Amino acid sequence: MTTFTTIDLNWTGRPQSIAALLIESADESAIIDPGPESTLGSLRAGLKERGRTFQSVDSLLLTHIHLDHAGATGALLRENPNLNVYVHEFGTVHMIDPSRLLASAGRLYGGDMKPLYGECAPVPETALQSLKGGERVRIGEAELEVGYTPGHASHHVTYWEPQSRTAFVGDTAGIRVEGNTFLLPATPPPDIDLEIWNQSLDKIAAWGPERLFLTHFGFIENPSEHIRQYRTRLQDWTELTRKLVESGMDTAEAEKAFVDAIASEIKVTLPTDAADHYIFNGGLRLSWLGLMRYVRKKALKNNPSAA
């Protein structure tokens, strides 16, 4: 029997912001996306509730290497050097030497990075299992298929478990708290690509899942409707960004207009507490920066003479 347990990492003291997923099958266990190092205490407590410790986990399955998903990996290896870490091949170099990853995150978060994410320790190369997509990862009696699903990040994969018909999608299907109907895209720099993203959503939909698991946050029923809505949201946000980029506003003014527009929509749609949660967890400024970069790159590709 295989069980899937959501561990709420209570990021920055906020429940339902970042979820790690514990898989237990036969005598093996794995964690999909252990989260940032700043939430190790919550991860440890969640494992203890299942009668486990870091030392009793066999594998980490990373959907991608962003700090909110994978930042704790190096710290976990210090406590359990026998962990197998599965990650897309484009992410392996940054797990071995996270200096470029940290420099990029530092430019986005500044002095908030350490309180938000904690440390990001290097991962020994010998612990890494490099993925391309198409592999199968066995955890006890469970066999998960690896799908390469870029769009949010060039190193993003999704794990598909056919027995439960669940796709563990990381950030490929956005932000939506389990049990809610409201959803947000997650479009941080530098890899956002809408065309590739839609192809990744096609791949997930082709599996015919009965559930999705989102790192932000939890299990989502009716995946086909969720994916349909998510495509629309991605397109709407991209169109808003394009209009702002082409408006002639300076960058700071356009950023404020984007953030204010999305925040206003959230506030009129949701109760105050829920709205505050989505606005915080959604990283609206980062989503603007990612989409702005994508829109500008696409415009340059379509009109190279404008460079």
Q: Is 192 inside any structural domain?
A: yes
Split into its structural domains, the chain has a count of 2
- Give the model confidence (pLDDT) of 281-303 as tens digits: 999 999 999 999 999 999 988 77
On whether the pTM is more than 0.75, the answer is: yes
C-alpha to C-alpha distance for 279 and 259, rounded to whole angstroms: 9
275 shares its domain with 218? no
- Give the model confidence (pLDDT) of 246-283 as tens digits: 999 999 999 999 999 999 999 999 999 999 999 999 99
- Give the model confidence (pLDDT) of 3-18 as tens digits: 999 999 999 999 999 9
Closest C-alpha to 182, from 277, 291, 56:
277
Contact indicator for 79, 86 with CB cutoff of 8 Å: no
Contact indicator for 96, 123 with CB cutoff of 8 Å: yes
Q: Is 305 inside any structural domain?
A: no
Last residue of one domain, picked from the residues 191, 222, 253 = 222
Last residue of one domain, picked from the residues 187, 202, 222 = 222
Secondary structure letter of residue 143 according to DSSP: E
In CATH, what number is assigned to the domain containing residue 85?
3.60.15.10
Tell me the torsion sign for CA atoms 231, 188, 207, 47: negative
Q: Is 307 inside any structural domain?
A: no
49 shares its domain with 170? yes
| Domain span at 65 | 2-222
238 shares its domain with 207? no
Cis peptide, bond prior to residue 217, ω within 30 of zero: yes
Last residue of one domain, picked from the residues 222, 249, 269 = 222
Starting at the earlier edge strand, list the strands of the sheet with 142-148. 136-139, 142-148, 157-161, 166-170, 211-214, 218-221
178 shares its domain with 264? no
Q: Is 306 inside any structural domain?
A: no
